[in-house]
Structure 1
Amino acid sequence: MSADPRGDREGIGSLFDELEELEDIVDSDEERRQVREAMRAAADTQDDDPAVFGRVIWGFDREDFAEAVLGSLLFGIPMAVEGGTIDAGRHIAQHPLYFAGTLATAVAMVVGILYVADFQDVRVAHRIFGVFPRRLVGVTLTPLATSVALLTAWGLVDWSSDPAVVWESLCICAIAFVPMAIGAALGDILPGS
């Protein structure tokens, strides 16, 4: 008789729930460190599991960063060669609220993919300033930096001293950032994460 692999994944999720509760009630930093080590060990036990979905995703390391970069590039290279990216960037440069809405939409989609859509059981391991999940910051800033680097390297944006040109370049990068953020989030949470 074989074990149900879905039950094992649900077991890992339950284990994480219990460890997170334990982390909240332990008294010392040493005990919290031991609980985090147990969480890391539990996450590592999934590495041999061939399942694509249903894994517990915990922590954000250089492998996750590399996956986010790859996802950004897979979704971003078509944006870099598509002339509509520049046209859309110029349009939102004329409407600053659209620029803000574009960035907010991209971040909301990343949050949705990571924490709401339930593709994977994504847990917050570390918070920056005690507020922002490291995974969210990493998966958001990675495609932003990738869009700026890619579009600059390919000569599609100009960072001259003219503020109007810099603003337009920033808006063009924001347009490319949207699909790159989606790609980064998906690249990060899909195996081999």
Structure 2
Amino acid sequence: MAAEEMDEEPDVDDLLDELEALELAVADEDQDTQSRVRESIRMARRIDDPEPVFGRVIKGFDRHDAAEALVGSVVFGIPMAIEGGTLEAGEYLATHPIYFVGTLLAGVGIVAGLLYVAEIQDVRVVDPILGVIPRRPLGLLTIAALTAFSMMTAWGRVDWTDPWVALCQTTVCFVGMSIGGALGDILPGS
């Protein structure tokens, strides 16, 4: 192996190339075989963990990501659903529509910030819907919204006879769930 190649950080492809060459060399039984075997072993020892949790590039949004987002949403959402303050905050938002809009925008902004600005992971937009809408935040927000609606309704925390108040209360829960969903998705790094 050339000296300049030794200075570069090896990767799995380098190891595979070396092992393929070694396979040919062993068949010929030349004198260089033992030193090449030792070099391959040294190279394998220098290769770092190929799948670190942090620092991976995250692309797309699949069912595994959706499951992580759901778990994060539920973990953050259960305390919000059982806490009376969520209902009080929702009632307040119902009387202040501009704060309702601000709450929604803040929730979406925090999710976008966690995914793309905070640089917890290298999250890339791949194959956006209609060429504009990134799949990951849309998926996270949809999961959080459906989970908030389902949990708040199933547990009798909202009364849909007054839909505006119920929507505002569910929105407060949704914001917390969307943040939890984003963290649940990107922290494992898949």
Q: Does 1:188 align with 2:189?
A: no
**TM-aligned CA deviation for residue 48 of structure 1:** 5.9
CA RMSD of aligned residues (A): 2.0
Q: Deviations over 1:9-53 (max 9, x none)?
A: xxxxxxxxxxxxxxxxxxxxxxxxxxxxxxxxxxxxxx962x221
> Which residue identity is paired with 2:130?
F
Equivalent runs, 1:1-193 vs 2, <5 Å:
49=51, 51-160=52-161, 165-191=162-188, 193=190
State the AA in 2 paired with 1:82: E
- Deviation, 1:159, is 2.2
Q: 1:159 to 1:48 in 2, by over 3 A?
A: farther
Structure 1 runs of 4+ with >2 Å offset: none
TM-score, normalised to structure 2's length? 0.73
Look up the SS of the partner of 2:58 in the other structure: strand
Q: Residue type matched to 1:173 in 2?
A: T
- How many residue pairs get matched? 147
Q: CA deviation at 1:55?
A: 1.1
Give the deviation of 1:192 after TM superposition: 5.4
Q: Which runs of 5+ in 1 are unaligned?
A: 9-46
Question: Any stretches of 5+ residues in structure 2 without a counterpart?
Answer: 1-5, 12-48
SS in 1 for 2:114: helix
With normalisation by structure 1, the TM-score equals 0.72
For 2:50 and 2:186, how far apart are their aligned partners in 1? Answer: 16
Kept in 1: contact 2:121–2:189 (CA 8 A)? no
